[in-house]
Amino acid sequence: MQKQVVFHSKWLPWALIAPQGLVILVFFFWPAAQALVQSFQQSDAFGTSVDWVGLDNFKALWADESYLASFRTTAVFSALVAGIGIAVSLLLAFFADRIQRGAWVYRTLLVMPYAVAPAVAGILWLFLFSPSVGLVAYLLARCGLEWNALLNSNHAMALIVITAVWKQVSYNFLFFLAGFQSIPKSLVEAAAIDGAGVWHRFWTIQLPLLAPTTFFLLVVNTVYAFFDTFGIVDATTKGGPGKDTAILVYKVYFDGFKALDLGGSAAQSVVLMVIVVALTVAQFRYIERKVHY
């Protein structure tokens, strides 16, 4: 944890930590504490009086059908994003691991979406699925499917899932590829000599050895779907139609910033904090396991 040989100074370490410490205190801890305090308060419409209301804000949240719906939406959304994203990138990495020639071309192309901002990615796919001019919507219409993400909530959900997966495949792909390449060749070769075919080796050797990577990506993808997809939702569906794609992060922004319900929004923030803490702990579980390997 620490060096045996260290420098000695009473003030220097504090001076070195001061800039980061100041930013953290002012922009992280203070606002987070505010959110915590506000979640137990209720201010009237004019902001003149503030009352302590205990757990009322949280009770109101659990009683609010739209909040529970937002929870379900987020669960469906992140399960789809993490599931499809991991499956697709595992497939691509499996084949990318098998070839040498031209591998860097595929890699360069496959990592490009990582460079694209979520909001811009949303706009690209909004264009492709635009009912009036979108190419994909046009092809779907030729197949007899009238596509309209503005009216059909399943279409809207598909739009944000596709966008989010498209953006995240790059990241997952790089990790899976590194995972495949870190599996000792001797293991796979030994199995091959024993007569195990490609698929058999994949299921019995490579996939189990990739389990830690997969678990790590599952957590990272869930965090991504929960928190980093705000731009995608805001650029494409804006939570619509109705509230059918309003994921939790979008709802907390909308309620706090557009609808100006401070207490309710603060309570939502606190719920989100609990979720992040749980996910971070899960992530660290993985890192510990990796260390002990």
Q: Which of residues 23-42 bind other proteins (CB under 8 A)?
A: 23-24, 26-32, 34-35, 38
- If one asks whether residue 262 binds other proteins (CB under 8 A), the answer comes out as yes
User: Closer CB to other proteins, residue 45 or residue 133?
Assistant: 133
Which residue in 87, 145, 198, 259 binds other proteins (CB under 8 A)? 198
Provide, rounded to whole angstroms, the least separation between the CB of residue 82 and other proteins.
Answer: 16
Question: What is the distance between the alpha carbons of residues 117 and 47, in angstroms, rounded to a whole number?
Answer: 36
The per-residue DSSP string of 19-61 comes to: HHHHHHIIIIIHHHHHHHHHTTEEE-TTSS-EEE-TTHHHHHH
Per-residue mark of binding to other proteins, 220-259 (x: CB under 8 A): x------x--xx--xx-------------x--xx--xx--
Question: What is the distance between the alpha carbons of residues 219 and 88, in angstroms, rounded to a whole number?
Answer: 16
Q: Which one of 53-61, 65-73, 168-176, 203-211 is the stretch in contact with other proteins (CB under 8 A)?
A: 168-176
Q: Are 81 and 218 in contact (CB under 8 A)?
A: no
Describe the crossing of helices 262-292 and 211-227 by its angle, rounded to 10 degrees: 170
* Closest alpha carbon to 82 in 178, 221, 198, 188: 221
Please report, as residue ranges, which positions from 89 to 118 form the binding site for other proteins (by CB under 8 A). 91-92, 95-96, 98-99, 102, 105-118
Task: Name the token pair of 40.
Answer: 């137990």
| # chain residues binding other proteins, by CB under 8 A | 99
Q: Are 182 and 102 in contact (CB under 8 A)?
A: no
- If one asks whether residue 188 binds other proteins (CB under 8 A), the answer comes out as yes
DSSP secondary structure code for residue 203 in this structure: I
β partners of residue 42:
51
Provide, rounded to whole angstroms, the least separation between the CB of residue 42 and other proteins.
Answer: 14
User: Closer CB to other proteins, residue 60 or residue 124?
Assistant: 124
- If one asks whether residue 161 binds other proteins (CB under 8 A), the answer comes out as no
Provide, rounded to whole angstroms, the least separation between the CB of residue 256 and other proteins.
Answer: 4
- If one asks whether residue 180 binds other proteins (CB under 8 A), the answer comes out as no
* Three-state DSSP state, 18: helix
User: Closer CB to other proteins, residue 80 or residue 122?
Assistant: 122
Q: Which one of 44-52, 59-67, 74-82, 263-271 is the stretch in contact with other proteins (CB under 8 A)?
A: 263-271
Which residue in 50, 76, 140, 174 binds other proteins (CB under 8 A)? 174
Task: Name the token pair of 108.
Answer: 């360069």
Provide, rounded to whole angstroms, the least separation between the CB of residue 147 and other proteins.
Answer: 11
* Closest alpha carbon to 166 in 126, 210, 211: 126
- If one asks whether residue 131 binds other proteins (CB under 8 A), the answer comes out as yes
- If one asks whether residue 123 binds other proteins (CB under 8 A), the answer comes out as yes
- If one asks whether residue 265 binds other proteins (CB under 8 A), the answer comes out as yes
- If one asks whether residue 292 binds other proteins (CB under 8 A), the answer comes out as no
Length of the chain in terms of residues written: 293
- If one asks whether residue 62 binds other proteins (CB under 8 A), the answer comes out as no
98-103 CB contacts, 8 Å cutoff, 24+ apart: none
Q: How many whole angstroms from its chain centre is CA 280?
A: 12
Provide, rounded to whole angstroms, the least separation between the CB of residue 243 and other proteins.
Answer: 18
Q: Are 39 and 191 in contact (CB under 8 A)?
A: no
Provide Rg for the chain, Cα atoms: 24
User: Closer CB to other proteins, residue 71 or residue 166?
Assistant: 166
